[in-house]
Amino acid sequence: MTDSSRRLAFGVLGTAGIARTAVIPGIRGSEHTVEAVASRDCERAREFAAEESIPRSYGSYEELLADEDLDAVYVPLPNGLHAEWTKRAADAGLDVLCEKPLAVDTSEARAVVDHCEQRDVTLMEGFMYRYHPRTERVLDLVVDDLADVRTVTSTFRFPLYDRPNDVRLRPDLAGGSLMDVGCYPVSLTRAVLGDPDRAYAHTNDTRDAGVDTELAGVLEYDDGRSARVASGFDTQLVQRYRIDATNGWIAVERAFDAPVDESVSLEYEIDGRHAVETFDPTDQYRLEVEHFADCVANDTTPLTDGENAIATMRVIDALYESADEGCAVDLR
């Protein structure tokens, strides 16, 4: 539980849909508060604040960071802006919950993490699925019950229809399916198998946008284990993973963006025992915020901290490099 003696006052940099539909409700559900929102469009910020009952709005990100009544910021800006505004928030002495991925590449991620460490602020990357009780249960089963996990197969695809100006299709803002949703399968693979030794990938740009709209990748380990990851904007919604071991398997549907108001489940067969476990409706964004606030209050390291963000980014970089070069990329 978060230390109730310190309720964090959040500012939100940007008016992204995920802030409105997921993270702001998560902040309020955790008994913390959203006190300010900023946009580069003053009227947009004002309208957003009015619709979401946020006390203050600003027509620039700089103005919000100068608000002395804030404790922390949530950064849901396009990927290409994460690093700059995370560092500027740290310069203002504000703790930062930044949407995934933290940066556009490994080098930039390392610079952001170092900067936040130097400014002595808490930095957390917003992989919300890691805080869902189902994910915790899966990882417990992996450690305690599965013997010799050999493969992980994970996919996150959804249809990005009729949105040619979407930031996810802009190379200058680090768009692409791997950066947007493929990072979830990469994160899950690392949580189960650890960091791979090699990466291979194929990408396709079906929109002629300059970014990958489809990606298929293979992550290999020197001991013979492997993972397959996939992402895309061109097919119907699918988000799932399966973990296979010598004594059984675990399968999860609706794996990453779990609904707040519906129960979810996981299925497994281990040592001949088949089971389906169901989890009550849970707001994983609220749990993410509570973890962040708890780390701020107790000066502890978040589960999805900066070092974890750097490691995930290394794999993403290797997948992109492989797709560009047409060969496997060594990560050792």
Specify whether 136 is located in the same domain as 215.
yes
Residue 69 sits in a domain of what CATH number? 3.40.50.720
Specify whether 48 is located in the same domain as 168.
no
296-318 pLDDT, tens digit each: 999 999 999 999 999 999 999 99
Are the C-beta atoms of 38 and 70 separated by less than 8 Å? no
Specify whether 64 is located in the same domain as 154.
no
Residue 141 sits in a domain of what CATH number? 3.30.360.10
Q: In sequence order, what are the beta bridge partners of 269? A: 249, 274
What does each C-alpha distance from 290 to 34, 77, 98 come to in angstroms? 14, 21, 14
pLDDT at 1 over 80: no
CA dist., res. 179 & res. 176, Å (int): 5
The pLDDT score that the predictor gives to residue 3 is: 45
The pLDDT score that the predictor gives to residue 164 is: 78
pLDDT at 217 over 50: yes
- Give a yes or no: residue 1 inside a domain: no
The pLDDT score that the predictor gives to residue 162 is: 76
Across the range 116-144, mean pLDDT stands at 98
45-72 pLDDT, tens digit each: 999 999 999 999 999 999 999 999 999 9
2 confidence band (pLDDT: 50, 70, 90): very low
pLDDT at 230 over 80: yes
**Which residue type is seen at 4?**
S
Specify whether 263 is located in the same domain as 166.
yes
- Give a yes or no: residue 309 inside a domain: no
- Give a yes or no: residue 93 inside a domain: yes
Specify whether 136 is located in the same domain as 264.
yes
- pTM score, two decimals? 0.96
Across the range 119-148, mean pLDDT stands at 98
Structural domain that includes position 48 = 9-126+286-304
pLDDT at 255 over 60: yes
- Give a yes or no: residue 102 inside a domain: yes
pLDDT at 132 over 90: yes
68-96 pLDDT, tens digit each: 999 999 999 999 999 999 999 999 999 99
Neighbours of 144 (CB within 10 A): 8
Specify whether 239 is located in the same domain as 186.
yes
Total structural domains in the chain?
2
